[in-house]
Amino acid sequence: MKAPRLLQSIFSAVGDLYLYKLSRVLFGDGVAKWAVSLSYVIRFYALHLFAVKLFSGWPFMMDDVLNHFQLFSQLANWFNFFCFNRTLSNSLETVLTLVGLYYWPCMRSSSNKVPSDSRKWGLAVAALACAIRPTSAITWVYVGLLELYLTRARLRFIFMELIPIGTLVLGFMCLVDCLLYGSWVLAPLNFLKFNFLSSGGDYYGNHKWHWYFTQGFTVMLFSFLPFCLAGIIKSKNWKLSGLIVWVLGLYSILGHKEFRFVLPVLPISLILSGYSLAALEEHGAPNSERKGPSHIHKKWPSKRQLAICFLLATNIPMALYMSLVHQRGTEDVMNYLSKEAAREKVKSILFLMPCHATPYYSTLHRNLPMRFLDCSPSEEKGIPDESDRFMMNPIGFAMDFAKTWSCPSHIVLFDSEEKQLRNFLVSHSFRERRLEGFSMLTSR
């Protein structure tokens, strides 16, 4: 049950490593150590060392501090803490984006020291990212056009690298899809038709065009936002800044928007935040130039100390709440059902709640019949799906549904719907088992 999460944590560590490597080739070792973290274990160890080093009165040399606080921005940002280790395709896409950007020569200030095969690796990783998440092409179109503009060997880039590698990855992806679907399917084309040409994603909700700029991405950055803006101005790295604006701009065209869609550019923004943090000067003059009693100079914290305390105070509570408390009911339900199923007390499960509300088989790991309400988009507009019909009239839907069901051993639903369906459930001999987290389990 925990193996997929452990695997994703390893992928996240790889992403942290390449974010560090990318930061180092762009801005040097000092900025890199403020930008990323190799793992959450190292992060908390670094945080402890940071507190000791910063406030204990030890010598506070810039290089020494950076060696202990590798990866500060990646550590402190609440959304990275919350989302980067989750088993989402967007999380893996983010890792591949960081790995790929490191190998593309156009993203560096100078391509003279880049190995000759570096761009091929970058192309391969970019193609793999597009195979996993076709919308990742938004990022790689920008990078590819930039490389095409800057490189001298344009024909070699197109005909000897781009086309062969892209064709190879596309052919492999089609072969895998054929084996799984039983027929030849071009998944990226279907993805393009549904999300871009027919606006099928709007069925699941839409937002104003400016949502990513005014709400979505600004919430993800949270208190890092002013440091990111300062990093953009101070670093003058318009390639990275342009990539962020490009991705947010194109995603803004789509009606359906989610935080996770723009996760790949969040670590890039944190690189720029790390740049501004590294650029903050120590309060006052160097120790050798200070005059007067030492306790006077230690009275006020430096700008860097204040900035770091501010970032930790604003991000850590949010990270812990979102990771440990927020909407954990559906997770608790599946953990409970998994334990019950291991004792052979579960025969079948019905989820009377919005579709995809629980981790489902990824947590249960049992070959048991389960059913959740369908929310597939209808070809005809205005026709509500099962999930919508249930939420509009829980009692009527449940009574109609019970006429044709094979009565399950367990029903899972939220507390608000349980109150409306209590008489119906009692009439079918179900008894209540309430769990924390605003979710409700009734078992027969």
Specify whether 121 is located in the same domain as 251: yes
Residue 93, amino acid: E
- 291 domain-assigned: no
Residue 266: pLDDT band (50, 70, 90) is very high
Residue 341: pLDDT band (50, 70, 90) is very high
Specify whether 210 is located in the same domain as 352: no
Residue 282: pLDDT band (50, 70, 90) is very low
How far apart are the two ends of the chain, measured CA to CA in Å?
26
Predicted confidence (pLDDT) at residue 46 exceeds the cutoff of 60:
no
Chain centroid to Cα 122, Å, comes to: 21
Predicted confidence (pLDDT) at residue 68 exceeds the cutoff of 90:
no
How crowded is residue 4: how many other Cβ atoms within 10 Å of its Cβ? 12
On whether the CB atoms of residues 40 and 124 are closer than 8 A, the answer is no
Residue 176: pLDDT band (50, 70, 90) is very high
Looking at the structure of the chain, the number of domains it has is: 2
Specify whether 68 is located in the same domain as 7: yes
Specify whether 29 is located in the same domain as 151: yes
Predicted confidence (pLDDT) at residue 296 exceeds the cutoff of 80:
no
What is the average pLDDT score of the chain?
A: 83
- 340 domain-assigned: yes
- 228 domain-assigned: yes
- 206 domain-assigned: yes
Sign of CA dihedral 205, 210, 216, 219: negative
Average pLDDT over residues 251-263: 94
Question: Can you give the pLDDT at residue 215?
Answer: 94
Residue 300: pLDDT band (50, 70, 90) is low
Average pLDDT over residues 344-362: 89
**368-406: pLDDT as tens digits:** 999 999 888 776 777 888 888 999 999 999 999 998 888
Predicted confidence (pLDDT) at residue 298 exceeds the cutoff of 60:
no
Specify whether 43 is located in the same domain as 76: yes
- CA 407 to CA 429: how far, in whole Å? 11
- CA 20 to CA 28: how far, in whole Å? 10
Specify whether 318 is located in the same domain as 351: no
Residue 73: pLDDT band (50, 70, 90) is confident
Residue 38: pLDDT band (50, 70, 90) is very low
**301-316: pLDDT as tens digits:** 788 889 889 999 999 9
Average pLDDT over residues 56-60: 42
Residue 299: pLDDT band (50, 70, 90) is low
Average pLDDT over residues 23-31: 79
Specify whether 45 is located in the same domain as 153: yes
DSSP 8-state assignment for residue 376: P
Angle between helices 89-103 and 266-279 (to 10 degrees): 60
- CA 48 to CA 280: how far, in whole Å? 21
Question: Can you give the pLDDT at residue 238?
Answer: 93
Residue 250: pLDDT band (50, 70, 90) is very high
Predicted confidence (pLDDT) at residue 221 exceeds the cutoff of 60:
yes
Specify whether 367 is located in the same domain as 380: yes
* Residue % of the chain over a pLDDT of 70: 83
Predicted confidence (pLDDT) at residue 36 exceeds the cutoff of 70:
no
CA separation, residue 83 to residues 127, 322, 376 (Å): 23, 10, 25
Classify each residue of 345-357 as buried b or exposed e, where b means 16 or more C-beta atoms within 10 Å of its C-beta.
ebeebbbbbebeb
- 290 domain-assigned: no
More confident residue, 51 or 125: 125
Specify whether 317 is located in the same domain as 413: no
Specify whether 260 is located in the same domain as 336: no
Residue 30: pLDDT band (50, 70, 90) is low
Beta bridge partners of 434: 440
- 289 domain-assigned: no
Specify whether 148 is located in the same domain as 9: yes
- CA 13 to CA 50: how far, in whole Å? 21
Residue 59: pLDDT band (50, 70, 90) is very low
How crowded is residue 162: how many other Cβ atoms within 10 Å of its Cβ? 19
* Residue % of the chain over a pLDDT of 90: 44
Question: Can you give the pLDDT at residue 66?
Answer: 35
pTM: 0.85
- 211 domain-assigned: yes
User: Which range of residues forms the domain containing residue 352?
Assistant: 329-443
Residue 375, amino acid: C
- CA 97 to CA 88: how far, in whole Å? 14
Specify whether 390 is located in the same domain as 305: no
